[in-house]
Amino acid sequence: MFKKVLIAEDMEDINKGVFSLLTELGVTQIDQVQYCDDAYLKIKRADLDSVPFDLVISDLSFIVDHRSQTYPSGQDLVAKLKTDFPNLKVIVYSVEDRLQAVRTLFNQHHIDAYVCKSRSGLKNLTQAISEIAQGNKFLSPEVSNAFSTENELEIDDYDISLLDHLSKGLSQDEISALYRKENISPASLSSIEKRLNKLRIQFNAKNAIHLVAIVKDLGLI
């Protein structure tokens, strides 16, 4: 089990909750920070002093205030941590449930676990810690389909065009008619529905409005 753990989380109550959990799990050395920069400095310092951390549990979003930060978000922090300290285990603990975001964290930043803050967040966090201790990765059930082989995560020009037309206010019927006129295939309403359904699953969107909002945030359209 882990001996020395750092919690990076700006919300004090959540920070405390995670602290309690770690204590219950028998972790004795627990440090807590509310800024990403502090997290990096503490870990760097501990490493230089040859008393490195075993594990970091970090949030993604930190509210910005007067203190200017080198690492404004959890993404920036974990990216830097995993480059500088490859042996350090990293758990991201966040409300974020967009699959694309989760995928990026695993694929590009090589985090060890992703836990969604939710009703059963702490339970999942416990599980994540024990999995990681055994050298495994962990993925919260809420976003478990982020890596399902079913939905290949490719988004092609057709998808973009679809989302773009949707965001311009065209109904699925109108898009179908447009595609027929422009000889774009598939053009049937049914195919368009099917494709949008795939995209909704892929982006964890509840409905078309949510989907468009997500892909706009991602800058896809």
Partner DNA sequence: TGAAACCTTACGGAAAACCGTAATACTCTT
Partner DNA sequence: AAGAGTATTACGGTTTTCCGTAAGGTTTCA
Contacts of 221 (CB under 8 A, 6+ apart): 160, 163, 164, 167, 212, 215
Q: Which of 84, 173, 182, 217 binds DNA (CB under 7 A)?
A: 173
Residue 161 binding DNA, by CB under 7 A:
no
Question: Would you report the helix, strand and coil content of the chain in percent, each value rounded to 5?
Answer: 50, 10, 40
Looking at residue 211, its amino acid is L
Residue found under tokens 């758990």 = 91
The entry of a second copy, DNA, none that residue 216 binds, CB within 5 to 8 Å by partner kind: a second copy
Sole window of 1-9, 37-45, 115-123, 200-208 interacting with DNA (rule: CB under 7 A) = 200-208
Q: Let me know: does 92 contact 113? Beta carbons within 8 Å.
A: yes
Which one, 135 or 169, has the nearer CB to a second copy?
169
Q: What gap in Å lies between CA 157 and CA 181, rounded to an integer?
A: 18
Q: Which of 26, 86, 135, 169 binds a second copy (CB under 8 A)?
A: 169
Which one, 116 or 166, has the nearer CB to a second copy?
166
The entry of DNA, a second copy, none that residue 212 binds, CB within 5 to 8 Å by partner kind: a second copy
